[in-house]
Every structure is written in structure tokens, then in C-alpha cells.
């Protein structure tokens, strides 16, 4: 329990945590099993290029999602780039600004113009009605992002794409293990992309996957991720090196085998946060539809400064001082980062909800590295910071201190 302002680390108290608590601390899974796999891989001397672990990982991911094909790759960014190229997107592609920068870079890297679309403030995903208003003769596709594992409005986006002859793909980097109307994400659009980066729900150190129910696209992507080779000495596409290594697949398989445990821990953490934050004015926890499958991988808060008195940014400072390394995903929005800010300096005018959200949102640590006790302490810090009403001198100190 915190009773006095001087107990906050920001005002000179002992930090509530000795070690830093990070958002995105990796889940490890069965370490022994991983080491056995790595030994097996070394004994077999097969380290990359569509090895046995990669093939097994692809099969198991596809089975888990109920999707026809899974193509494992070296990271989520390359996965996005490969799908964009394989679908022959060009000209303009509609994409949210409220996403990790990789979604947008994957377009610009191929000299395709990202057209930033606003989001629905409830779901944090593309607002389909706004999508429609941005379509021009140069538009070739739409990329939806299931941010926090929250499904996009896939039905409306599919209708719009079909009606206007556009390609539709999804960045499902956050959404492994999540469903929409009973169907696993991974089954929508022409293809969906996952990230298995260390910070993700399922990780392969670095890694990613493309999943699709389209046989032709699957064939094409398999060749494109391996330089375009269609057999020894025969290149038939412009390809790249997108291959997943065997050691990554070994971690991916081990991670996948612990998926139920990870979900249980994340769900427990989510419930603890729900309880610990209940009733704090102006602090709301992003809600998860419990009727669907979910990975509970992100603990997302929205801070309404009009009610909390402390802004999101001051709260982040207070938490960091306590060694709780909360993050402002996805501040300030891709449209305010380079090169997009210079290319489209007025993009924000059409992104009112994105701009509001990037000022309000913060994510907190969860996963297997966090205990219920940790969460209870984090919630106490937030509650105290909001209800204690700083005087003007304290507020000045908070505002002017270096973070």
C-alpha cells in the first residue's frame, strides 16, 4: 500500500521493483525440450533451408489455425513485404497509422504509397467506412492490422475489397491464437502475417509466418522466400532471403507446445489487472471479448486526462521511476514518423481518432515473467498516482523532469 507521495520513487522513495519489469519479456517454454531440439539439429547438421523443424513448425501452425498453408519466414516484416509483392500491390495501399512502423515500412520499402486511414476508437482497428472514402483509381489494396489481437471488421473490409477489386491482407502480428466469430485469425483476406519476434506471444527468437488458404499464392511465396529458386539453378521470380532458420523453428515449436500455459498465465494477469484497476477514474483497460479465443498478450490502458489529472505521459514517468517500463505503443502514430511526416505533413487532419488514441494509450508488462503480486503493486502505483491529486509544485516537477 502506498500512503504518502514521498513513497513514490519519482519523489525520492525506493522503487517498488528492484529489477525492471518490461512489456514484451519473452515467454520461454520448456527449456529442456528446446535444448534437446538444438542438440538434435547440431547432430543432423541441418541448420537452415527448409529443415525438418521448419517443416514441422509450418504443419503445426497451419493445423492450430485451421488454415491450409503456413510459410515460415525470418521475421514479420519480411513476411509483410513478401505478401505485398506476391499480391502485386502497387500505387496506393490503405493502412492504419495506429500500428507498429513495420506495417507501413513494408509498403514504402517497395515504393508503394501508404494511405493512412483512421481507426475505430472502440476497436483500435481500421474504420471500414473511412477506408471506403480513401479509395482512388491508384488504390490496389488494403492492409488491416488486428492490433492487440483484436480482429478487424473483416466482413465489411472484405465486402469493400471485393466491390472495388482490391486485394485485402492482414497484419496479424499480435493475433496468434485469437479468433473472430469462432474462426481463427489467419483465415481472412488473401493472406495473413504473424510475427514470432521474441516479444510476441509465440516466439522463435526472430521469426514470422504467412498463412493462406490460396494454393497458388502459397506456391509463389515459397519460391519467393528462397530467392525465387524453383529447383537447382533455376530462378523464376524476384525473390529474397526470407527463410526461417532451424534454431528459430526449434524455439517456435517449443513455444507452440506451451501455448495453453501462456494463455492461462496471460488470462490470469488480465483478470488481476481488471481487478486492480477497477474504479480508478479515467483509467480503462482495453476489453477483450471472452466469447472468442484470445492470447491476452497485451495489457492496454487508455488514460483520460480530463478525469485522471495526470496525463498518460506523466503516468509513464511515474511508472518508469518504479522500474515498470510501460510503453506508449504506438505513439506518435506512423504518420508522425519519418519519412511519412515529411511526405504527408497534413496526414493528421484525417486521423482524428488515431491522434487522440496515441495520446491516451499505454501498455503494461504481462506474460510469464510477471506475478500476481507484481500486478497488484503496479495497480497500486497507478491508483495512487491518479487519486492523490498532485499539488502544483509536484506537478511542475513531474512535467519538467527528464524521463
Would you state the cell numbers that stand for residue 176, as one nine-digit string? Answer: 496468434
- Select 85 or 383, whichever has its Cβ closest to ligand T4K: 85
State how far the Cα of 128 lies from the Cα of 120, in Å rounded to an integer: 9
Is the dihedral angle over the CA atoms 209, 211, 216, 217 positive or is it negative?
negative
Smallest gap from Cβ 240 to ligand T4K, in A, equals 14
DSSP E strands, 97-205:
113-117, 139-145, 167-171, 179-180, 183-184, 191-195
State how far the Cα of 142 lies from the Cα of 71, in Å rounded to an integer: 21
The alpha-helical segments, DSSP class H, found in 193-330 are 215-224, 246-257, 259-277, 305-308, 312-321
Which residues sit at the interface with ligand T4K, rule CB under 6 A? 22-26, 75-77, 99-100, 102-103, 145, 171, 173-174, 195, 197-199, 208, 325, 329
Smallest gap from Cβ 77 to ligand T4K, in A, equals 4
> What DSSP letter does each residue of 193-204 carry, written as one string?
EEE--TTSSS--
- Select 26 or 282, whichever has its Cβ closest to ligand T4K: 26
Residue with cell 528492484: 18
Smallest gap from Cβ 101 to ligand T4K, in A, equals 8
Would you state the cell numbers that stand for residue 349, as one nine-digit string? Answer: 487532419
Query: Which residue has the closest beta carbon to ligand T4K?
Result: 76
- Select 15 or 26, whichever has its Cβ closest to ligand T4K: 26
For residue 86, count CB atoms less than 10 angstroms from its CB and return exposed for 0-12, middle for 13-18, buried for 19 or more.
buried
Smallest gap from Cβ 307 to ligand T4K, in A, equals 28
- Select 173 or 187, whichever has its Cβ closest to ligand T4K: 173
- Select 119 or 145, whichever has its Cβ closest to ligand T4K: 145
- Select 171 or 374, whichever has its Cβ closest to ligand T4K: 171
Residue with cell 488514460: 303
Smallest gap from Cβ 158 to ligand T4K, in A, equals 20
Hey, is 265 helix, strand or coil?
helix
- Select 188 or 384, whichever has its Cβ closest to ligand T4K: 188
Smallest gap from Cβ 66 to ligand T4K, in A, equals 22
Smallest gap from Cβ 43 to ligand T4K, in A, equals 27
Residue with cell 515449436: 253
Amino acid at each position: 500500500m502506498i500512503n504518502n507521495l514521498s513513497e513514490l520513487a519519482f519523489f525520492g522513495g525506493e522503487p517498488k521493483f528492484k529489477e525492471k519489469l518490461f512489456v514484451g519479456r519473452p515467454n520461454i517454454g520448456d527449456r529442456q525440450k528446446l535444448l534437446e531440439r538444438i542438440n538434435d539439429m547440431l547432430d543432423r547438421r541441418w541448420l537452415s533451408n527448409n529443415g525438418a523443424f521448419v517443416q514441422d513448425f509450418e504443419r503445426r501452425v497451419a493445423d492450430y489455425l485451421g488454415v491450409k498453408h503456413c510459410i515460415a519466414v525470418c521475421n514479420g516484416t519480411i513476411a509483410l513485404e513478401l505478401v505485398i509483392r506476391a499480391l502485386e500491390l502497387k500505387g496506393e495501399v490503405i493502412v492504419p497509422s495506429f500500428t507498429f512502423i513495420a506495417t507501413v515500412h513494408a509498403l514504402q520499402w517497395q515504393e508503394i504509397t501508404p494511405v493512412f486511414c483512421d481507426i475505430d476508437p472502440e476497436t483500435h482497428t481500421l474504420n471500414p467506412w473511412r477506408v471506403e472514402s480513401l479509395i482512388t483509381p491508384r488504390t490496389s489494396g488494403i492492409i488491416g492490422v488486428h492490433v492487440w489481437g483484436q480482429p478487424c471488421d473483416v466482413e465489411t473490409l472484405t465486402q469493400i475489397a471485393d466491390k472495388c477489386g482490391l486485394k485485402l491482407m492482414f497484419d496479424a502480428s499480435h493475433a496468434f491464437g485469437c479468433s473472430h466469430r469462432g474462426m481463427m485469425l489467419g483465415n481472412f483476406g488473401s493472406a495473413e502475417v504473424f510475427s514470432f519476434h521474441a516479444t510476441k506471444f509465440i516466439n522463435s527468437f526472430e521469426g514470422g509466418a504467412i498463412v493462406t488458404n490460396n494454393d497458388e499464392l502459397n506456391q509463389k511465396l515459397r519460391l519467393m522466400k528462397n530467392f525465387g529458386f524453383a529447383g537447382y539453378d533455376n530462378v523464376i521470380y524476384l525473390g529474397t532471403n526470407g527463410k526461417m532458420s532451424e534454431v528459430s523453428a526449434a524455439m517456435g515449436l517449443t513455444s507452440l507446445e506451451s501455448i495453453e500455459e501462456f494463455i492461462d498465465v496471460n488470462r490470469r494477469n488480465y483478470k488481476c489487472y481488471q481487478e486492480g484497476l477497477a474504479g480508478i477514474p479515467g483509467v480503462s483497460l482495453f476489453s477483450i471479448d471472452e466469447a472468442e479465443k484470445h492470447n491476452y498478450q497485451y495489457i492496454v490502458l487508455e488514460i483520460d486526462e480530463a478525469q485522471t489529472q495526470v496525463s498518460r505521459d506523466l503516468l509513464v514517468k511515474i511508472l518508469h521511476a518504479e522500474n515498470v517500463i510501460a510503453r506508449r505503443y504506438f505513439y506518435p502514430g506512423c504518420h508522425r514518423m519519418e519519412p511519412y511526416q515529411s511526405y504527408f505533413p497534413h496526414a493528421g487532419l484525417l486521423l482524428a481518432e488515431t491522434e487522440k488514441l496515441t495520446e491516451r494509450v499505454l501498455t503494461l508488462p504481462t506474460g510469464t515473467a510477471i506475478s500476481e503480486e507484481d500486478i497488484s503493486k503496479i495497480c497500486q502505483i497507478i491508483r495512487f498516482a491518479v487519486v492523490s491529486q498532485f499539488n502544483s509544485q509536484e506537478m511542475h516537477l513531474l512535467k519538467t523532469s527528464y524521463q
